[in-house]
Structure 1
Amino acid sequence: MRLVIARCTVDYVGRLTAHLPSARRLLLFKADGSVSVHADDRAYKPLNWMSPPCRLTEEVDGSTLLWIVENKAGEQLRIVVEDIEHDSTHDLGVDPGLVKDGVEAHLQELLAEHVEVLGPGYTLVRREYMTAIGPVDLLCRDAEGRTVAVEVKRRGEIDGVEQLTRYLELLNRDSLLAPVTGILAAQQIKPQARTLANDRGIRCVTLDYDQMRGMDSEEFRLF
């Protein structure tokens, strides 16, 4: 990971346009190809970002340094660097990934056993389908045999949509799986996450944990 603290202006050029005026900011260049721009507030949320895969090029015009971050759709983050205060690179190694809590892990297990909750004709291909950037919770096929990646959460938030988006971008490079669509499955899905998911063609499914626990229950069986 490369960490840069610099005074800069940032312009996003794509389906929409956005401008960040000159200020001191933290720029994160991650090994997965993502780039994000942060201020010293807004908690963990970046001011602007570019999801992987993307390409970074550098142009120098006199004393002006321009970093252009472009994704495969041709959208760009154009970062004009006025002054660099810190620039360092760190090897964080392979992250072991998030360990889900008991409820979320059980929710994933239940959904794997009852994928018909996602829709008629759905079948499970594999749980924890491994990719280069982490495991997809469930890899399924719909009634027409198309591949579907499912991200399972207790609470569906924007982070979950972003995570699933990265998986979909990677999975769709595999000709044996593509085209791959996505489902965000959660007990509760926040309106902002639902809006972003819909914009990216990701379907949202609200899960009833108690109802799923009762499916095919052995609690009242005599034999």
Structure 2
Amino acid sequence: MRLVIARCSVDYTGRLNAHLPLATRLLVHKGDGSLLVHSDGGSYKPLNWMSPPCTLAVEASDEEDVVEQWRVTHTKTGDALVVKLYEVIHDSSHELGVDPGLQKDGVEADLQRLLAEQVGVVGEGLTLVRREFPTAIGPVDLMLRDDAVAEVPGSGRGHVAVEVKRKAGIDAVEQLTRYLELLNRDPHLRPVRGILAAQSFALQARTLASDRGIDCVVLDYDAMKGTDSGRPTLF
């Protein structure tokens, strides 16, 4: 990656035309050939850019004050980004190597795994039967056995279907409803009740879940993985 801070002007020509007048900017030329033009503001978004596949060529300029002129041309469209450098303040190149990619923490798979290890979070007297319990319309995140129901003569075995979300909306309630309708047809499982477990809930989701007899449980991901969430508590 090459980083250049320079007083420059930038012109984009092709399917559209755009002009950035003379100012001090950061030019980022990446290993994939792309060029990004940044100002000291606007967060991550560049003022202008050229995405790969593209090539950068240094060419002569007809202006005496220009110390270097770049033409970045898109290989497929022919669009061009012409950068005129009037003063180079900084110029450095860095080898970054292969990036491992973004590793997200707290995604639904993490919540499901932690909840499978801590089923007491959603209720007492529950034991894990299986993660990703298969049904004809897709897997239920967790299938739990309700020991209290199972001990009542003539009540059936008693199970709990748990759907895990980061943020639960109406779609999550509808999804769990379909699972419950199907699972309660199985005499080896029923009665099956539902729990929707999420880090946050839309108000409409809570209302619909309550109407359909589905419990909503708020998950504290930090507490479940053994770190302090920073939320105030009574004790």
TM-score, with length taken from structure 1? 0.49
Structure with bigger strand share is 1
Higher Rg of the two aligned structures:
2
TM-score, with length taken from structure 2? 0.47
